[in-house]
Amino acid sequence: MKALQYRTIGAAPEVVAVPDPEPGPGQVLLKVTAAGVCHSDIAVMSWPAENFPYEFPLTLGHEGVGTVAALGAGVSGVREGDAVAVYGPWGCGTCAKCAQGKENYCLRADALGIRPPGLGRPGAIAEYLLVDDPRHLVPLDGLDPVAAAPLTDAGLTPYHAIKRSMPKLVPGSTAVVIGTGGLGHVAIQLLRALTPARVIALDVSEDKLRLAKEVGAHETVLSDAGAAAAVRTLTGGLGAEAVFDFVGAEPTLRTAGALAAVEGDVTIVGIGGGALPVGFGSLPFEVSVAAPYWGSRSELIEVLNLARSGAVSVHTETYFLDEAPLAYERLHTGKVNGRAVILPNR
């Protein structure tokens, strides 16, 4: 089969032929209908060889949707032909976190060498994807595969981040979304669907701010050195009860800290490598800072339910598998508006 692989440190990923995977006991083979292209892969491909945590070559793609093509021995609960989305942050399935569906925080994944598809294990940007266990699959139940694939990360990750702050996002409150790309433009829709908060979007690109407005942001602000002051002005000096930074770089985190309200939340979602100092006087009183990762299995089910109700739709542009390197190049240069989705079997 064909797969998109990252094969050389620092080089662009390539479409190559690899052996067809076969499901072992307990595993499920999916024919991939759609796979999302995530900005975090760009970060992965920028890591130096000595810090690269995964085996080479790496088939990319941690947002996958497909139809069940074959079942390994002993698999029950899904049938051939079922259309499913893949829950990506695989865990051991049995520790205290996994027992709550929080496989993203599995306490044993590292020790057991369990990795998500596309982030260690062969990923979804390929004709077929091997899934370790049917519990990682959520039925699409009528959702369009292209629309659904990005929901498994670009939907689930902001959903999980927003849920943490929902008690603070009461009527009259303000939520700020920094970086309105793949995850950010979904975050705006989720905030509108889940909370009565006023949503202010920040980005360095006018194009992305236009998309932010289209998907429901009440206000947009160009993300520069004056952004925090602009948000203070828009909020009568109070700042934002919740700030979601989908960039996570030093300058955006500085902005996030500077525009948080007293007792506000700053949530660092982007993996831009920045840090936000927390100490007495460095932030407004009792600001809470967290850096969550992905989301739980039950939250993915909730996100898909929300999408089915029409409350959230990902802005997508589609590519054939042979064009996947181009999708990464466009993402890298900031040209993708919304989410790029690969169609490996078309």
Binding site for Zn ion (CB under 5 A): 38, 40, 91-92, 95, 98, 106, 108, 153
Q: Is 235 helix (H, G, I), strand (E, B) or coil?
A: coil
Q: Which is nearer to Zn ion, 160 or 198 (CB)?
A: 160
Q: Please state, in angstroms and as integers, the Cα–Cα distance from residue 165 to each residue in 4, 92, 195, 215, following that order.
A: 37, 28, 10, 20
Smallest distance from the beta carbon of 325 to Zn ion, in angstroms? Answer: 18
Q: Which is nearer to Zn ion, 97 or 208 (CB)?
A: 97
Smallest distance from the beta carbon of 281 to Zn ion, in angstroms? Answer: 35
Q: Which is nearer to Zn ion, 38 or 65 (CB)?
A: 38
Query: Would you say 337 and 315 are in contact if contact means Cβ atoms under 8 Å apart?
Result: yes
Bridge partners, residue 343, by sequence: 320
Dihedral of the CA atoms 308, 100, 122, 47 (nearest 10)? 100
Smallest distance from the beta carbon of 163 to Zn ion, in angstroms? Answer: 18
Smallest distance from the beta carbon of 106 to Zn ion, in angstroms? Answer: 3
Q: Which is nearer to Zn ion, 92 or 258 (CB)?
A: 92
- Give 68-134 as a 3 state SS string: EEEECCCCCCCCCCCEEEECCCCCCCCCHHHHCCCHHHCCCHHHHCCCCECCCECCCCECEEEECCH
Smallest distance from the beta carbon of 200 to Zn ion, in angstroms? Answer: 24
Q: Which is nearer to Zn ion, 38 or 243 (CB)?
A: 38
Beta-strand relationship, 2-6 and 14-17: antiparallel
Smallest distance from the beta carbon of 239 to Zn ion, in angstroms? Answer: 29
Query: Would you say 345 and 32 are in contact if contact means Cβ atoms under 8 Å apart?
Result: yes
Query: Would you say 305 and 139 are in contact if contact means Cβ atoms under 8 Å apart?
Result: no
Q: Which is nearer to Zn ion, 39 or 208 (CB)?
A: 39
Enter the tokens of residue 303.
Answer: 């996100």
Query: Would you say 189 and 311 are in contact if contact means Cβ atoms under 8 Å apart?
Result: yes
